[in-house]
Amino acid sequence: MNKIKIIYFTPVVIVLIFLIFLFQLLNKDVKKLSSALIEKPVPEFEMQTLYSDITLLNSNDINSSNVALVNVWASWCIPCRAEHEILMLLSKIEGLDLYGINYKDKKINALNFIDNLGNPFKKIGVDKNGRSSMVWGVYGIPETFIIHKGTVIYKHIGPIHLNELENVILPILAKLL
Amino acid sequence: MSLGNLGNILMLTCLLASLIQALYLIYPHTSFGKININYRVLTRIIFITCLASFLLLIYLFLESNFNYQLVVNNSHSEKPLIYKIAGAWGNHEGSLLLWILVLSFFNFVFLETKIKNTEFKKYVISFQSLMIFGFTLFLLLTSNPFLATENITNEGLGLNPILQDLLLAIHPPILYVGYVGYSIVLSFAVGGMITNKIDQEWARWLHPWVIVSWIFLTAGIGLGSFWAYYELGWGGYWFWDPVENASLMPWLAGTALFHCVIILEKKNILQSWVILLSILTFSLSLIGTFLVRSGILNSVHTFASDPSRGLFILVFLAIILIISFTLYAIKAPTLDKKSKINIVSKEAGILANNWLLLSSLFVVFLGTLYPLAVDLFLQKSISVGPNYYVLSLMPILLLLLLIMIVGPVSKWQNDKLTNILFSISKLFILSLAIIFAFSIYFSELKLTQITLLTLCLTLMLVSIKNGIRTNRNYSIISPSLGKSLAHIGFGLLILSVIANTTFATEKIFQAQVDDLLVIDNYKFKFDKVNQTKGKNFNAITATFSLLDNKTVIETFKPEIRIYSNPPTVTSETSIVRKFLADIYIVMNIPENADFVNVRIHIKPMMSFIWFSIILMVLGGISSIFFRIKLIK
């Protein structure tokens, strides 16, 4: 048996530390990630809307709603498609305004998506290159924000599953409405 | 027996067979050591069960069997045939099954190769089986594709026209073959270390596997990029998106690896370096999978994510990494042969290229994981933009190109710097002259651009010359042709990317009919405006002709569509792909204006970017055939 040298164990140690890091990442439920925006006012932004090149979607629109839900989506995003039914349900709630931000999408695809699946949104802003959504801290879609009188209350990363709708989203909305 | 149960039984058989085979890693060292298991039969059983269950899944999709949850969620009876088939792997469960199939396929092919060293072969197969076992367990516990549906339905949910795209159907499996291909490389490393067989012969056996995986990974990344460019229409082809980075990292490590294997094969040195790279490459594939599948990185590519899946992959990753690195730590002192590398030699060049590739890997790694770390420790959201990558990778790229020019022309062992420089000097001066002339006559370039472009051009010319010089008998199956093609491809890729980013132009015009619009060297004539009727919209179509001395070369018809229900106005881009550039025309009609707002984009060298990736893949293919011939 050859002599074992400690130095060669360096990769194992590095790997262990890295694995612990990954484990921490996993442990921290991304879906509850506190957004830097929570309890802050709606960020200033302005974008063109999907249904016209002239009207705009901006912070004032969102602030004018008592309770607003902003959903960032795209037609190419598979989870967004899964989530859409839930948004359609949410759009039936009285007193809640849904706003969409169409993210890095082709206009025609986005329109087809809405045509086929229905339009839950009061207004849809278009963020063609993803730049305007940066103020929202969007890093993956779908993402959903709940806003009460101009203040961001909650951020949800990833599609809203049915159980999350029941256990998280609806209770929050119930308190606000 | 229902088909789903058949699928479950097949996967259970595979689980059991791979477990028995994997135990071979331990039991020669226990009191059961005498038991003789037939690894040939086991390997075939594993492969056949995986293949059968994958075909079964495709069959379920083909007959739109809505008794199964996976089919309900991802298919639809009216889907075109090809997309029904692709639907089988266009989801988490199916793609995992495909992943296992590829693992077992590589295992099977390896079994059939003519390597005489049975001991080594058994260990490689056993380690590969351990991975098959792990993933099959993962599949059965958390992501069973054969789950029956709870609510009976007659129709599936998956009829999304946007996702019915041929590229979208073939890009993931090709990428997987690349990712998973590196698993056998890791098994080679483990098997080689256990049987103390890390030598030149080992490197020769390993070489084709490294290239095969590289070819698929390169093609997979290329296709993904192509899809993003043409389908998503964001006008870009690479976004430094974390998931793109996750595929780029194993590519960089794999590229470093296969250059290193060449040195080991020729000079019998750098054993432990090759082992480390083998482990690293597959680990990066797994880490990429982990980040994407666990939902830690939410992006374009996220399938409905589930934390329990993430945990499983992480545990699996930990087992694989700890086994292989511990084995390395124990065996490392015996691996390396004493050696000295001359600073001016081919091996020194390859080694330098290795360090540069790993430096770029580090840059990408940091850029991808840094935001996650900041998020974790400081509870802040940050994003790392393209600027970070461009600025940090630029100097590395410069050196890499330089090494790629001088490396291949230098000799093994020892060479004279003056000889090397002399042999490339003419082509270098020629390239410099061409770029300078271009800069003077067409458009002024910055110093960094001149340097980079000159190096790219020199690399291409030197590689062409090299390819011709070393391949006198014009065989298409030759390592030198492969190398030249791949290097020409890389040079062309960087050249086109730089040209594309530098010369992309866009201009906005307020135009009326009969106006002549000039952008760069292109002249467009605004011919007419028409009103047309579409299926559910009215359109205003403008016609522009691209002119070359009064003759019309190309016609563009951008549109404005007015939908009535709901009231919508959209602009349809008209794109023409030309040899030298892609041309986009978009228009708008402002209210109460008697002119049209026209935007013209010129994106040069787009087709060259795709062509360069094809060249690299062809280079890989050319050398793989040579390598296979070498083993036989």
- pLDDT tens-digit profile of B57-93? 999 999 888 888 888 877 888 778 888 888 888 888 8
Span B384-395, average pLDDT: 90
Task: Give the model's pLDDT for residue B629.
Answer: 72
Band of pLDDT at residue B592, cut at 50, 70 and 90: low
Query: B607-619: buried (b, 16+ CB within 10 Å) or exposed (e) per residue?
Result: ebbbebbebbbbb
Higher pLDDT, B570 or B384: B384
Band of pLDDT at residue B432, cut at 50, 70 and 90: very high
> In sequence order, which residues have a C-beta less than 8 Å from that of residue B61 and are 6 or more positions away?
B71, B74, B75, B84, B85, B87, B88
Q: Report the C-alpha gap between B616 and B222 in whole angstroms.
A: 10
Kindly report the nearest CA distance between residue A177 and chain B, in angstroms: 29
Nearest to A140 among B299, B304, B588 (CB): B299
| Token pair listed for B568 | 């919508």
Q: Is the Cβ of A8 closer than 8 Å to some Cβ of chain B?
A: yes
Cβ–Cβ pairs < 8 A, chains A and B: 134
Q: Report the C-alpha gap between B395 and B158 in whole angstroms.
A: 47
Q: Go through chain B and tell me how many residues it has.
A: 632
Nearest to A141 among B298, B371, B588 (CB): B298
Span B573-596, average pLDDT: 79
Residue B593 pLDDT greater than 70, yes or no: no
pTM across the whole model: 0.83
Q: Report the C-alpha gap between B526 and B595 in whole angstroms.
A: 11
Task: Give the model's pLDDT for residue B429.
Answer: 94
Question: Which chain B residues are Cβ-neighbours of A111 within 8 angstroms?
Answer: 563, 568, 570
Span A33-48, average pLDDT: 76
Tens-place pLDDT, residues B468-524: 887 766 666 677 888 899 999 999 999 999 988 888 888 888 888 888 888 878 889
Residue of chain A whose alpha carbon sits nearest to that of B236: A129
Band of pLDDT at residue B565, cut at 50, 70 and 90: low
Residue of chain B whose alpha carbon sits nearest to that of A115: B566
Span B95-101, average pLDDT: 92
CA distances from B381 to A26, B74, B504 (A): 16, 33, 32
Band of pLDDT at residue B304, cut at 50, 70 and 90: very low
Average the pLDDT over each of B52-56, B221-225, B618-622, B628-632 and give the range with the smallest value: B628-632
Q: Flag if A8 and B311 touch (Cβ within 8 Å).
A: no
Q: Report the C-alpha gap between B193 and B384 in whole angstroms.
A: 39
Query: Looking at chain B from residue 251 to 280, which residues have their Cβ under 8 Å from any Cβ of chain A?
Result: 276, 279
Coil, strand or helix at A68? strand
Q: Report the C-alpha gap between B19 and B598 in whole angstroms.
A: 65
Query: Looking at chain A from residue 64 to 123, which residues have their Cβ under 8 Å from any Cβ of chain B?
Result: 75-79, 81-82, 104-109, 111-113, 116, 119
Check residue B149 and report its DSSP letter: P
Whether B155 and B77 have beta carbons less than 8 Å apart is answered as yes
Task: Give the model's pLDDT for residue A79.
Answer: 77
Determine which of A20, A53, A102, A160 to mutate to test the interface with B (most B C-beta atoms within 10 Å).
A53
Higher pLDDT, A33 or B62: B62
Q: Is the Cβ of A51 closer than 8 Å to some Cβ of chain B?
A: yes
Span B115-142, average pLDDT: 92
Kindly report the nearest CA distance between residue A50 and chain B, in angstroms: 8
Q: Flag if A12 and B325 touch (Cβ within 8 Å).
A: yes
Query: What is the number of alpha carbons within 13 Å of residue B37 lying toward its C-beta?
Result: 22
Task: Give the model's pLDDT for residue B233.
Answer: 55
Q: Flag if A81 and B376 touch (Cβ within 8 Å).
A: no
The CATH architecture one would assign to domain A31-176 is 3-Layer(aba) Sandwich (3.40)
Kindly report the nearest CA distance between residue A4 and chain B, in angstroms: 6
